[in-house]
């Protein structure tokens, strides 16, 4: 046994993988418990082989058929099928083990793009961080909340997307910086932690000297949901855990907000959720599963039952949003082929009725979060991406 190579076995007594090392000098086997991260990676490998790949083998053909029927990009649909199977069959802990953190992704992106590294830790809680693309004090600022279901960290695609917006704005004569919130992930930190961090970020920009008319905020998917929570807070300030109202003194209205494929409801009975063939990256299963992680052991249900819409825009009476006037311009984008499709259109119609500012709804023949997919895949910016870029530029032009 002395010359046996190292390997991995399962310990029937401990119930988890252990590391097997060969000690040639003494001819003994030394069993060393694997650390938590290593166990998670081993567990993910097992999940990949026996759950994700079989699920992908089922999802991808359906995505291809739907793509052909609806004239969707075939490559993106196959990608959606695989990543959808990945999200359906992994736990947040597994995903967070294999994906780089938001900070690591930002650091790598800054290094590879020759950008200036700038990170602020907010005094509000001494832990929330803001990541900058551009100087802290520019003429205008975009506060961006990234998507990922509150489970996955920031991606390179998000950074490339925001850098594109910044460059296009500069080419149009608009000086702006992008400020990205690194929010805490679920299930470790459920609602309303991310909302509180979004409020802290907005307050910080005001403290830096930005006027509301110099701020546009927005996000994709979960980041769109977080943007809606911030909108709701600006409309009806939410009390803190100490029972006091957490007010943001605006002295005016915020210039704009863009909502890209936002989560707006936990109603799973809409037609978009019932499709048998689905080319979307999201499924009812993953939205339900991650939604549970978001709201479990939180005041979310109590708030919604009381008609307070901080945690979900469409799951409260429309009167919650009556005479909304905190944001001058709102852009809402989505795809007809995503599971959020019906909710996005309902949200757009509701905001058009209740907002005192301008509301634009842009729907395309596409799946969830098309702008992010543009930059992940390296495709030319789609019409939806260009619409968002033009919206940001037009907001700052006045």
Q: Is the pTM of this model over 0.85?
A: yes
Q: Order across the sheet with 327-335: list the strands.
A: 119-121, 129-133, 176-182, 140-145, 215-220, 254-260, 327-335, 358-364
Q: Find the helix packing angle between 383-397 and 156-171, rounded to 10°.
A: 50
Among the ranges given (27-31, 90-94, 227-231), the one the predictor scored with the smallest mean pLDDT: 27-31
CA 127 to chain centre: 19
Three-state DSSP class for 2? coil
Rounded Cα gap, residues 314 and 309, in angstroms: 8
Q: How confident is the model at residue 38 (pLDDT cuts 50, 70, 90)?
A: confident
Q: How confident is the model at residue 250 (pLDDT cuts 50, 70, 90)?
A: confident
Q: How confident is the model at residue 17 (pLDDT cuts 50, 70, 90)?
A: very low
| Domains of the chain, earliest start first | 1-34 (no CATH), 37-98 (no CATH), 101-397 (3.40.50.1820)
Query: What separation in angstroms does the CA of 287 have from each of 129, 281, 370, 373?
Result: 26, 11, 18, 19
pLDDT at 259: 99
The one-character DSSP state at 317 is: -
- pLDDT per residue as tens digits for the range 281-325: 999 999 999 999 999 999 999 999 999 999 999 999 999 999 999
Q: Does 329 score more than 50 pLDDT?
A: yes
Rounded Cα gap, residues 203 and 184, in angstroms: 18
Q: What angle is formed at CA 267 by the lines to CA 265 and CA 268, rounded to 5 degrees?
A: 125
pLDDT at 35: 67
Q: Does 28 score more than 50 pLDDT?
A: no
Mean pLDDT of 351-361: 98
- pLDDT per residue as tens digits for the range 125-154: 999 999 999 999 999 999 999 999 999 999
pLDDT at 4: 38
The three-state (H, E, C) secondary structure of 157-214, written as one string = HHHHHHHHHHHHHHHCCCCEEEEEEECCCCCCCCCCHHHHHHHHHHHHHHHCCCCHHH
**Residue closest to 253 by CA, chosen among 284, 303, 217:** 217
Query: What separation in angstroms does the CA of 366 have from each of 80, 125, 151, 232?
Result: 12, 39, 23, 28
Q: Does 5 score more than 60 pLDDT?
A: no
Q: Does 26 score more than 80 pLDDT?
A: no
Torsion of Cα atoms, 108 then 109 then 112 then 116, to 10°: -100
pLDDT at 15: 38
Q: Does 347 score more than 60 pLDDT?
A: yes
Mean pLDDT of 40-66: 92
In the chain, % of residues over pLDDT 70? 88
């Amino acid at each position: 046994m002395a010359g046996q190579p190292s390997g991995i076995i399962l310990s029937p007594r401990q119930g988890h993988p252990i590391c097997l090392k060969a000690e040639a000098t003494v001819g003994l086997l030394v069993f060393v418990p694997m650390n938590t991260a290593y166990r998670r990676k081993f567990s993910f490998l097992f999940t990949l082989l026996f759950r994700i790949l079989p699920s992908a083998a089922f999802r991808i053909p359906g995505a291809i058929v739907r793509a052909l029927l609806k004239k969707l990009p075939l490559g993106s649909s196959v990608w959606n099928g695989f990543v959808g199977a990945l999200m359906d069959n992994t736990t947040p802990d597994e995903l967070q083990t294999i994906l780089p953190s938001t900070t690591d992704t930002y650091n790598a992106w800054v290094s590879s793009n020759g950008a200036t590294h700038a990170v602020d830790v907010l005094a509000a809680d001494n832990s929330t961080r803001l990541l900058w693309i551009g100087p802290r004090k520019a003429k205008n600022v975009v506060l961006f909340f990234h998507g990922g279901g509150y489970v996955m960290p920031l991606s390179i695609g998000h950074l490339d997307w925001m850098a594109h917006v910044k460059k296009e704005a500069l080419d149009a004569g608009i000086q702006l910086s992008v400020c990205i919130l690194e929010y805490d992930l679920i299930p470790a930190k459920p609602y309303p932690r991310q909302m509180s961090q979004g409020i802290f970020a907005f307050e910080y920009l005001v403290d830096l000297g930005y006027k509301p008319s110099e701020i546009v905020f927005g996000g994709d998917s979960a980041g769109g949901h977080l943007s809606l929570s911030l909108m709701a807070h600006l409309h009806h300030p939410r009390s803190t855990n100490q029972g006091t109202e957490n007010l943001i003194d605006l002295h005016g209205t915020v210039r704009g907000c863009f909502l890209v494929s936002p989560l707006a409801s936990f109603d799973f009975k809409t037609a978009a959720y019932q499709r048998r063939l689905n080319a979307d990256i999201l499924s009812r299963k993953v939205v339900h599963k991650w939604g549970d992680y978001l709201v479990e052991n939180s005041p979310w249900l109590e708030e919604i039952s009381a008609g307070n819409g901080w945690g979900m825009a469409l799951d409260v009476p429309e009167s919650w949003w009556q005479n909304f006037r905190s944001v001058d311009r709102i852009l809402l984008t989505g795809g007809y082929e995503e599971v959020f499709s019906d909710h996005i259109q309902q949200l757009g119609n509701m905001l058009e009725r209740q907002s005192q500012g301008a509301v634009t709804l842009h729907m395309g023949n596409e799946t969830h979060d098309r702008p992010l997919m543009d930059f992940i895949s390296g495709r030319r910016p789609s019409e939806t991406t260009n619409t968002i870029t033009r919206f940001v530029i037009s907001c700052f032009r006045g």
